[in-house]
Structures are given as C-alpha cells and as structure tokens.
Amino acid sequence: MLNLDSVKKAQNNINRVVTKTPFAYASKLSQMIGNEIYLKKENLQLTGAFKLRGAFNKIATLSEDEKAKGVIAASAGNHAQGVAYSASYFGIPATIVMPEATPMTKISGVKSYGGEVVLAGNNYDEAYEYAIKLAKESNKTFIHPFADYDVMAGQGTIALEMLEEKPDLEVVIVPIGGGGLISGIAKALKSINKDIKVIGVTASGAPAMRNSFKSGIIQDSMSVKTIADGIAVRDTNEITFDIIKEYVDDIVEVDDEEIANAILYLMEQQKIVVEGAGAVGVAALMHHKIKFKSPKKIGVVVSGGNIDVTMLNLIIEKGLIKSHRKMKLIVTLIDKPGSLMKLTEILRDVRANIVSIGYDRTDVNLAFGDANVSIAVETKGLEHQEEIKRSLYQNGFRFVVE
C-alpha cells in the first residue's frame, strides 16, 4: 500500500539514479502573486520529467524473472522515457505504446534510451488499452503510469525533497492527469504534516478528475483536448481517485490560453523551458484560480520540460502578438514600382522592424492593379502599434490587422 514508509523506501531505491532537482524561490512570481513561491523544477530531471521516479522504483522492485521477461508501458511521453531509461539501467527490454499524435521529441527520447516504440490510439486511454493487450500476449509486466502503489511512492519522493529544503511549506500545488503524482505527494505530505494544503490543477480540456472530485463520484470524459499532453487523461482511475478524495484539499482548472501564458512567463522570467503539464500550477497562480486569505509559503511542482519545439514556437508567436510585441498586417497597395518602397519607408519612420514580408497580386478578391502585402513587424507595445496604424492610414494605405 501507499504510505510514508513506502515513499521513504522508494527514495532509497531511486537515489542512485534520480536527480534531486532544485526547489528554488521564484522572486518575480512571488512579487506578482503576493505569496512566497518556490518551484520544484522536475523539468530538470534526468529524463526531463518526474516520471523517472515512479518508473525506476517500480522496475527496481520487480523479481529477476519479471525483469527477464521485459516490461511494457503506455504513455504520452514522460512515463515512456522514464520506463525506457529504467529498463535500460537494469538491462531489460522495454516496449512503449504511445498515442499516434505524440510529439517527436518524446518518441525520440524513448528510442534514445533503447525502448521500442509502438504508436496506437488517439489518446493515452486508447494507447493504454492496446498496451494491456500486448502485455498479456507477451507475458511482460505492465508498468502503469499512475495507478500503481510503487509508482506513486516514487512520485511521492518529490514531497520529501521539498520538505527537506522548506519544512515550513503551507501549500503545495501539483498537476493532475491520472493522479499518480498528486497521490504520492499528498500522501507523503499529509503523513508528515496534516495541515499542509494540497491543491491539484487539471487542464480544462481534460476535466475528468476534477469533475469526479467535485461531484464525489467517478466521472469520465468523452474526449480530451489540451496543449498539456502530459495530463491529457480521458478517464478517472478508481485507485488514484480514492487517494485524492482523502488527501487532496481542492482541484482547480486552467485552460490552454492560461497554460500558454504560463509557459511563456516561465521561459522569459524564470529562464526555464516547461511543457504544458508542467506549467499548470504556475498558470493557476497567475490567473488567480487559487485564493489565499493571507500570504502563504507555496511549493509548485513544475512536473516536466519535454515540450515539442513546434508547440513552443507557436506559443511564443501567439504570446508576442498578444503582448503587442509583434504585429501582423495585410496592406493593400497599387501594384506598381515604388509602392512597396513607400510602405517600407513609412514603417522605417515609425521604427517598426520588419521580420517577414510576402507579396500577392493573384488573390481573387483583389481588384486588378492591386496587390496585398502580408507583413510582420516587431513593435514596442500597444501605443507603438496605434502609431503604425495612424501613419498607414494617413498615407492612404488600406490595411487589416491579422
């Protein structure tokens, strides 16, 4: 069963491999929120996420016969890398079933640790069903990503590390997908100090555990859709749900826009790269989803950093536009020599730096003799953008802001 002793035993098992990640004071975030906030940076873990803890502890407890037959797992990516690395450490074969839409960075990570990757299903739950079938057919041990007491005990070692460095913590905020991470952490924290508040955060596009927690009965989702792929779990698991009901104080949710804001904030202000699931705790604080009557000492688990570079680029681009640091325009001008030069001179005079430009005279909506220029410029805020628009208008250009 899951208890403080099993978490302490897990800590002894994983110490030979797992990195004791930084638990660092976040000064800017603390000032913004008005609380004393510390970030547990599991994005700096050996495989880029906390999942190594539970996977390694589970495999370490297998019998020699079980190890010889090999292991199989289902994962959206982080558990997969944890299992693959752990299996490689013990010299045993590992098969990982991943959803077909899994980012390449996570697939490559699994393969780099020697794991065999099988792509199946549209989400974790469908990959899980296929992996269970494969495990039975091949007589391999299935390493569950969250509904396993040895796995949860491994994740609970994060709580021990946080309290070692900050024994007077009052609140701990934890991402929730399947619930293994928060189950292990909450059980360990409450066993040491029952007054510590444990708050979970789900993505609004994967609401099963929050809905179940709020209603008191298991509620599954029809589908999941969120940029936080590490917590995109469709169904509520009974094992973790029972632990969460008993030891977690509240669960809040954040949407994809809020998660993206937190990813960008952490990159710019904390200088760390974090995936969607790892950013939800910070997103909940930034967007005031958690209210405190008085300032608290808060620990936030930043659970992973394995974000797909394509997604990261999209978040950065949208973030620049939302914060008025980038502006995209479609300008209609007369298709004759000198027109484009006049446009660029106007932008030069208002100190707008052009970063991309395209020229189209074939759009069927254009009048003959006109052309559309799609242009992106770096700007210095909303006031600067208004100045650019005024200047274009005063010089007779027709334009729309994308």
- Kindly list the catalytic residues: 51, 303
Question: How much is the CA Rg of the chain, to the nearest whole Å?
Answer: 25
Q: Which two structure tokens, joined as six digits, stand for 262?
A: 């937190």
252: amino acid identity, one letter: V
Task: Work out whether the CA dihedral 278, 284, 286, 291 comes out positive or negative.
Answer: negative
- Pairwise CA distance, residues 402 & 393, whole Å: 16
3-state helix, strand, coil in the chain (%, to 5): 45, 20, 35
By the 10 Å C-beta count (0-12 exposed, 13-18 middle, 19+ buried), 341 is classed as exposed
Q: Say which residue the tokens 């050996």 belong to.
A: 46
Q: Which of 304, 307, 312, 228 is nearest to 44 (CA)?
A: 304
Q: Say which residue the tokens 């990195």 belong to.
A: 19
* Cβ contact 292:249 at 8 Å: no
Q: Say which residue the tokens 């994308």 belong to.
A: 402
